[in-house]
Amino acid sequence: MKRRLLVLILVSLFLTQLIAPSSAVAKAGTKCTKLNSTTVSAGVKYTCVKSGSKLVWNKGVKVVTPTLKPSVSPRPTTSPTPTPSATDLPAIRETAIANNTFYIDRGNCHSRGINAELQINEAGNWKRLVGAMGWEDFANCPAAQPVQPWAAIDVPAGTTLRWRFWLSGVFDLNSATFMSLTKKVQTNTSATPVATPSATATIRPSVTPTPSTTATRPPTVLPTVTPTTSTAATRAPTPTVAPTPTVVPTPTVVPTPTVVPTPTVAPTPTVVPTPTVAPIPTVVPTPTPTASTMRPPTVTPTPTPTPTQILNAPNPTIVGTAKVGSTLTISLGGWDSGVTFTYNWLRSDGASIGSGNSYQTTGSDLEKTIWVSITGSRAGSPSVTRVSNATAVIQKGAMTNTIPPFISGVTEEGELLTANVGTWSISPSFSFQWLRNGILIPGATSSAFRLTNKDSNNRISVKVTGTQSGYESLAVTSSDNLIRAKLKLTPTPTISGRGWVGYSLYSNPGTWDAEVTLTYQWLRNGTAIPGATAPSYLLLESDLGMDTKISLVVTGSKANYPSVSKTSSIVQGVGRRYGFGSTPTVDTTVILFSTTWERTNVFQWFVNGSVVGTSDRIFVKPEWMGQSIYATINGERTHLDVIQPNSGLTLEGVRVSGVTSPGQTLTAAWYSMIRGNSFDLEGKIQWYKSGVLIPGATSKTYVLTSNDSGSFFTFTVTVDKQGYVSRTATSTPTASVT
C-alpha cells in the first residue's frame, strides 16, 4: 500500500513540474528566451514565438483545471478524432507552424453570420475544398468585422488556395490567392491529446467538474490509474499506478448555474490488461490517492452503438450545356446504396435557384456560373453533403424557327397584308420590318401593311425578329409576294334588246383600261347559261316566263393585273312577240296575240302540219287532242304547242238505288257534267260486297241473294269522253242486306 501511494505522489510531482511556469511572470508581448517554450501564469498558458527579430510571449490561452468526481455508470465508447476549437487556435497554430507539422489557415476579417469556404485551384478551375470549420475573434480585426474563419486542410505544400465569402442575395467575394505551407496535416498532440484505445475495451468515466470561468481547453489531470482486477466479478480490483500517463480523459461536464462550459469529446483510457470488470479511475485534485477513492464499485458497461457511416459519397458532376434554356442534370457517381438525396442549385451571385434533380437555365443565369450541393441521407447514418464543380459561365441560348414567317391577305394594290410569325422554339417578343424587293420600307414596322400603288408589280416580304432575355436574337424573312396593280377603268355593263323569245339581247361593256381583254357570260336566274359566252344572246323557249331574269357578267383581264368582273343589271320577264292567248285545250277557243299589230295581218293555224284555220282564233276539236298546233302571222311563226285534254268533265249523283233484301235488284245511278251541262254518258261499272270486288259484277244492276245477308254494297263507275280527262267515282255504301 505504501508503495502505491509513493508512486502516485511521484507521478503527481512530475506532472506538477510539467505545467509549472518557465518564468515567474509572463505577459503577452513581453520577452522570452526559448522559441516554442511555454509557461502558465495567472491561469493562462503562454508560448514563446518569434515576432520580427525578437522572441516574445503570445497572447496565451486560459487553462481550466476542473475537480472531477467518479461516476458509477461507466460505458464503453469509441474514441473520436478531436477537432481544434476556436480558442485552441492560437496555441495550436503557433506551436504547429514552428514544428512544421500542422497548419490552420485563417481567412479575412468579416462580420458574423456570413458563409465561407476554402477553395482549391485545379487546372485553372476553382473548386470547393472545405467549408469554414469555425470563426475566431481576432484582435487585429475592426469592430464591425471582428471574426475570421479557419479551416484545417490536408494538401501538398505549395497548393494554390483562396477563401470565398458570400451572403445569399447580397454579395459573393473571393480573397487573394495563397499557398499551403506543409506537405501533410496532423493534429498537435501537445495541444490536443489523442487517446489510443486498446484492442479490448475503452472506458470513459462520467465526472462532475468544479466550475471555472471558461471551459475551452482540456484540463490538466493526474495520470490514469490502471487497477489490477481479480477473477471475481463481484469484487473491486486492487488498482496500480501506471508510471507514465497515456491518456487525459475528458469527463462529462455538469456545470453549475454560473458557468456555461463547452463540452469537448474526449478519448477514453486504455485498459491494461483486459479486465473482466472495467474499473473507474478516481481523479482527485491532489496527487495523494487513497484506497477508498481508488476502489470503484463493480459495474457492467453498457455498449454504445456505432453509427453506420456513408462511405462512398463522391462529389456530383453537372451534365449539360452552359447556355440559357439548357437543362442541367446531376451525375451522382457511386454513392452507397439506400441513400436519398436533397439538392440545392446555387449561382455565383449567391442565389439559391432550384431544389430538383435537374435545372433549366434562364435568362437570370446569363454570364454566371452554377453548381449544385447535394446532401445524402440514410437511416442510422450521419448526412453527407457534397458540392459539384461550377459550370462554365452561362452563355446566351439559341432560339430556333421551325416554320418560317408568312404573309396572309390579298396581294393587290390597296389591300391589307398581315405578317404571321410562324413557329419558334421559345416564345420571344417579335418585331417586324416590311421589305419591297428586299429593301427596307421606311416606317413599315407593324405586323400589318397596307399596299399602295408604289407596291404594284413589286415583290413584298416581311422580316420577323425574335428577342428574348438570355438568348441570341434571331431574324427570319418570309418569302416574297408579287403585288399586282388594279385596273382603273372597270365600268358596269348594260343590256339592250327585246325580251322576246327568238330575239337577241346585246351587251354594252363600257370603256375599260387599255389592253384589257373582255370575256362574257350570260346568266339565267343567276346561273350561267351553257355556251352563252358571246357579246349577244338569243332568247330561247327555255327562257320564256314572266319570272325569268337574264343578266350578264363581263370580266376584264390584263397582264400583271388582277382580273375584274362586273355584273349588269337584270332583264326580268321573257315573252313572245306573237303567241297563243291560252293553252290549246279540247273544246276551247285559242286566240292569237301580238305585241305589235299591223294593218294587214295574214293568219294561218296548223295542226300536225296541216292548215286548219285562217282567222286570229280557232276552236280546238276533240279529235285534235295530243296533236301539235302552231300559227303564223304574216309569215312569222308562233311557238309550237301540244293540244291538251279538257278537264271539265265531272260525275255527279253517284248512288245505289233499290231495296236491300234477298231477291231484290240494286241499280247503279249517276250523271255527267261538262261546263255546267248534264250529259248521260255511259260508264264502266264494278260492284263490291262489303268492300270486296265481286267478280263479273260489271252491269248497271245487281240481284241480291240469301248469301248476301248482312253485307253492304257499293260500285265504282269510270266515264270516258274523247278530248276529256276520264273521271272515276264510287257510290256511298248501302244498308246491310236483311
673's grid cell? 257534267
> Would you state the pLDDT for residue 142?
79
> Would you state the pLDDT for residue 41?
79
Q: Which residues contact 331 (CB under 8 A, 6 or more apart)?
A: 316, 317, 318, 319
User: Each residue of 111-168: pLDDT tens digit?
Assistant: 777 888 888 888 888 889 888 877 777 667 777 677 788 777 767 777 788 888 888 7
Rounded CA gap, 415 and 460, in Å? 13
729 close to 686: Cβ distance less than 8 angstroms? no
Cα–chain center distance at 528: 55
DSSP calls for 255-302? --TT----------PBPSS--SS-------SSS---TTTT-PPP--PP
55 close to 46: Cβ distance less than 8 angstroms? no
> Would you state the pLDDT for residue 307?
58
665's grid cell? 235488284
Q: Which residues contact 587 (CB under 8 A, 6 or more apart)?
A: 619, 620, 621, 622, 646, 648, 674, 675, 723, 724
User: What's the DSSP call for residue 218?
Assistant: P
The CATH classification of domain 578-642, taken from the options 3.40.50, 1.10.287, 1.10.3470, 2.60.40 = 2.60.40
Q: Looking up cell 465526472, which residue turns up? A: 207
525 close to 548: Cβ distance less than 8 angstroms? yes
Rounded CA gap, 490 and 412, in Å? 16
Rounded CA gap, 713 and 737, in Å? 9
> Would you state the pLDDT for residue 162?
86
CATH 3.30.70 assigned to 649-730: no
Give SS3 for 124.
coil
340 close to 377: Cβ distance less than 8 angstroms? yes
How buried is residue 731: exposed, middle or buried, by Cβ count under 10 Å (0-12/13-18/19+)? buried
End-to-end Cα distance, the chain? 162
Give SS3 for 11.
helix
CATH number of 494-574: 2.60.40
Q: Let me know if the fold of 399-482 is the same as that of 649-730.
A: yes
314 close to 334: Cβ distance less than 8 angstroms? yes
Vertex 321 angle, CA 317 and 326, to 5°: 110
Rounded CA gap, 58 and 37, in Å? 11
Which backbone phi and psi does 262 adopt, to 5 degrees? -100, 110
Strand ranges in 1-82 using DSSP code E only, listed in sequence order: 38-41, 44-51, 54-57, 61-62, 75-76
Cα–chain center distance at 331: 25
577's grid cell? 312577240
**Cβ atoms < 10 Å from Cβ of 660:** 18
466 close to 430: Cβ distance less than 8 angstroms? yes
Q: Nearest 10 degrees: CA dihedral of 697, 698, 699, 700?
A: 100
Rounded CA gap, 223 and 245, in Å? 5
Amino acid letter at 698? T
Sign of the torsion angle spanned by Cα atoms 543, 544, 549, 553:
positive
The CATH classification of domain 86-179, taken from the options 3.30.70, 3.40.50, 2.60.40, 2.40.128 = 2.60.40
Q: Nearest 10 degrees: CA dihedral of 232, 236, 237, 241?
A: 170
CATH number of 399-482: 2.60.40.2700
Q: How far is CA 338 from CA 25, 68, 517, in A?
A: 60, 44, 88
User: Each residue of 189-223: pLDDT tens digit?
Assistant: 233 333 333 333 333 333 333 333 333 333 433 33
Domain boundaries, the chain: 2-62, 86-179, 317-387, 399-482, 494-574, 578-642, 649-730
The CATH classification of domain 317-387, taken from the options 1.10.4040, 2.40.128, 2.10.240, 2.60.40 = 2.60.40
Global pTM value: 0.35
Name the pairing type of β-strands 649-657 and 628-633: unpaired
Rounded CA gap, 544 and 402, in Å? 62
Regions of the chain with pLDDT less than 50? 1-3, 5-24, 65-104, 182-296
Rounded CA gap, 608 and 629, in Å? 6
Which backbone phi and psi does 436 adopt, to 5 degrees? -115, 115
26 close to 42: Cβ distance less than 8 angstroms? no
How buried is residue 156: exposed, middle or buried, by Cβ count under 10 Å (0-12/13-18/19+)? exposed
Contacts by 357-360, CB closer than 8 A, 24 or more apart: 357/329, 357/330, 358/327, 358/328, 358/329, 358/330, 359/327, 359/328, 360/325, 360/326, 360/327, 360/328
Vertex 180 angle, CA 177 and 182, to 5°: 170
User: What's the DSSP call for residue 28?
Assistant: T
